[in-house]
Amino acid sequence: MKKNGIFRIIDANLNRTLEGLRIIEEIVRFILQHKRLTNRLKGIRHKVKDAIEKLSIGEQRLLIARDARRDVGVSVYLEDEFLRSDLRDILKVNFKRVEESLRVLEEFTKLVKPHSGFIFKKLRFEIYSLEKQLLTSYFTPSVLHITRLSGLYVIFDQSVRQDRTYSQIAQEVIGGGARILQLREKELSDREVIKIGRKIRDLTRVHKALFIVNNRMDLCLALDADGVHLGQDDIPVGLARAILGREKIIGISTHNLRQAIKAQHDGADYISVGPIFQTHIKPNLKPIGVNFIRKMKDKIKIPFFAIGGINEGNLKSVLRAGAKGIAVISAVMHAENIGQATKTLVKLIK
């Protein structure tokens, strides 16, 4: 009975290990499309199987010990087992599953064959290394957000629209279908901005929208925003990345091709380009026109948002020029119905 229980533990944790490795391998193979790492994961799976075979237990003996129907752990579920927000979440959960299962195999296989735990310990530390590599280089939050950096990007500033609170504006914009919001506020105190920003942060979390803070990295960190948007006179992108790490998105405003190429080279996650048309928000900047977007497409590989004087009337010409993302202020903030104006722009972009 006692030995049968040990075999059940080994069988269950062997299955957990192989299942977790397979999930990680599928993400690396089909999402990342990384041949070397795929082969490495496949090699680890085979090493686990080989290590079990060397115990001389035999696959049949493990199958005989298995009793899934009466396993008391089958019906035990925690609430967060049903929740996954993105690929990073799936990777983190399955790395932990593999690491924990290898630790169990390391301990219990010693009862079958002395010194057999060493191989599982070695494999566990290899998984720790692989986890760090994938989660800090390939599946950082900012990298995962890249796929969401398109569509309608709404910048709101209460100095433009004072008959609504920030929370009301955010609710209407999100209700209209926008999934990227930037808080641009230069007149209020930091304490007031933090109070406002927390409400917006809560709304964007619930509705899975990105929340960007203009200019201020300290406020970005304080509010746990998804990222910061910098101007040409703000802190350089490289220094911002050193402070924020890969956890946060970094965007930068550009007004010509030289600035756009430099921002891309410096490591920005996205850029805004403009003003495309004349705008009273930045009246001193000369419009660069929709033809500039056509020039951008071949030179810039990171996501970019066309900005400046874009509205329902001229949006189609911007989209025809090749823009995949549009950033607006007045087109939404000056609208009589903010939610409807947002919905119309989102529909036109789609």
Q: Which stretches within the chain are classed as H helix?
A: 2-26, 35-53, 59-65, 87-108, 117-133, 141-145, 166-175, 190-206, 217-222, 237-244, 257-266, 291-299, 315-320, 330-333, 338-349
Q: Check residue 73 and report its DSSP letter.
A: T
Any catalytic annotation for residue 253? yes
For tokens 């998984």, the residue is 127
Identify the CA nearest to 178 among candidates 343, 319, 335, 318. 343
Are the beta carbons of 312 and 345 closer than 8 angstroms?
yes
Any catalytic annotation for residue 142? no
Are the beta carbons of 341 and 164 closer than 8 angstroms?
no
Q: Pull the structure tokens for residue 62.
A: 């493990």
- From the list 216, 253, 272, 343, the catalytic residue is 253
- From the list 49, 164, 282, 324, the catalytic residue is 282
C-alpha 313/C-alpha 325 separation (Å) is: 16
Are the beta carbons of 41 and 25 closer than 8 angstroms?
yes
Identify the CA nearest to 318 among candidates 306, 300, 327. 306
| Contacts for 108-113: CB closer than 8 Å, 24+ residues apart | 108/6, 108/9, 108/10, 108/13, 109/10, 109/51, 109/52, 109/55, 111/6, 112/6, 112/10, 112/55, 112/57, 113/54, 113/55, 113/56
Phi-psi bin for 320: left (phi > 0), alpha (psi -120 to 50), beta? alpha
Q: Check residue 109 and report its DSSP letter.
A: G
Q: Pull the structure tokens for residue 263.
A: 């921002």
Any catalytic annotation for residue 116? no
- From the list 184, 246, 262, 324, the catalytic residue is 184
Q: Check residue 246 and report its DSSP letter.
A: G
C-alpha 88/C-alpha 203 separation (Å) is: 22
The residues carrying an active-site annotation are: 184, 253, 282
